[in-house]
């Protein structure tokens, strides 16, 4: 019996000595932010389209905001007086778009200041006295601009607005 126990112990010892020690493969961690969602470009220009209707008159605006520098197109389509269409450029100051509107109306090119308050999905045009300065119609006093009664433009489908601006 002693021989059997000794032989069993010796064989168990030899089997343990012959075993290879396996090391687990190192785990590699993946960057979950890169895998889940690609980075979004928040610095590029943002485009907005607006439309306003008063009676039979319409206003269409396409605005591109590139970090506060504003460019775009604007068109007034009036039923009983001359319409105008042209480009806007300027800057954003707080919630106010301070733009210069270069347009064609009555067969001649003109330039005038036009300010809008931009809140949520609306633009409200500023109303105020203008003066001629260097061939451009400018607001006489920016502090006296009223937005209460100005034309309101609501957010609109850009395909429709761009078609109207052509």
Work out the average pLDDT over 111-135: 93
Is 24 contained in some domain?
A: no
Longest dimension (CA), the chain: 122
Higher pLDDT, 88 or 29: 88
Range of the domain at 59: 46-165
Q: What local confidence, expressed as pLDDT, does residue 41 receive? A: 54
Percent of the chain with pLDDT over 70: 73
Q: Which of 80, 47, 60 is nearest to 151 (CA)?
A: 60
Token digits of residue 61: 């605006």
Q: What local confidence, expressed as pLDDT, does residue 6 receive? A: 46
Distance separating alpha carbons of residues 66 and 60, to the nearest angstrom: 20
Is 51 contained in some domain?
A: yes
Is 139 contained in some domain?
A: yes
Is 14 contained in some domain?
A: no
Q: What local confidence, expressed as pLDDT, does residue 80 receive? A: 83
Which distant-in-sequence residues (6+ apart) come within 8 Å of 109 by Cβ? 102, 103
Burial (CB < 10 A; 0-12, 13-18, 19+), residue 116, is: buried
Q: Is pLDDT at 23 greater than 70 in this prediction? A: no
Q: Is pLDDT at 13 greater than 60 in this prediction? A: no
Q: Is pLDDT at 115 greater than 60 in this prediction? A: yes
Is 7 contained in some domain?
A: no
Q: Is pLDDT at 140 greater than 70 in this prediction? A: yes
Distance separating alpha carbons of residues 118 and 91, to the nearest angstrom: 12
User: Is there a contact between 128 and 139 (Cβ–Cβ < 8 Å)?
Assistant: yes
Is 50 contained in some domain?
A: yes
Q: Is pLDDT at 30 greater than 60 in this prediction? A: no
Work out the average pLDDT over 111-118: 95
Domain count of the fold of the chain: 1
pTM over 0.95: no
Residue with tokens 């168990």: 12
Is 53 contained in some domain?
A: yes
Q: What local confidence, expressed as pLDDT, does residue 95 receive? A: 94
User: Is there a contact between 128 and 116 (Cβ–Cβ < 8 Å)?
Assistant: no
């Amino acid at each position: 019996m002693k021989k059997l126990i000794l032989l069993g112990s010796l064989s168990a010892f030899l089997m343990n000595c012959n075993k290879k020690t396996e090391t687990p493969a190192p785990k590699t961690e993946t960057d979950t932010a890169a895998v889940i969602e690609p980075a979004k470009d928040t610095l590029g220009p943002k485009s907005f389209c607006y439309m306003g209707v008063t009676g039979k008159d319409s206003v269409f605006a396409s605005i591109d905001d590139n970090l506060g520098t504003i460019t775009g197109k604007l068109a007034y389509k009036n039923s009983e007086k001359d319409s105008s269409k042209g480009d806007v450029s300027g800057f954003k100051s707080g919630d106010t778009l301070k733009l210069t509107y270069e347009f064609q109306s009555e067969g001649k090119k003109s330039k005038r200041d036009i300010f809008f308050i931009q809140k949520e999905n609306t633009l409200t045009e500023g109303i105020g006295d203008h003066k001629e300065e260097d061939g451009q119609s400018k607001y006489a006093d920016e502090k006296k601009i009223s937005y209460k009664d100005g034309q309101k433009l609501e957010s609109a489908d850009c395909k429709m607005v761009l078609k109207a601006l052509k």
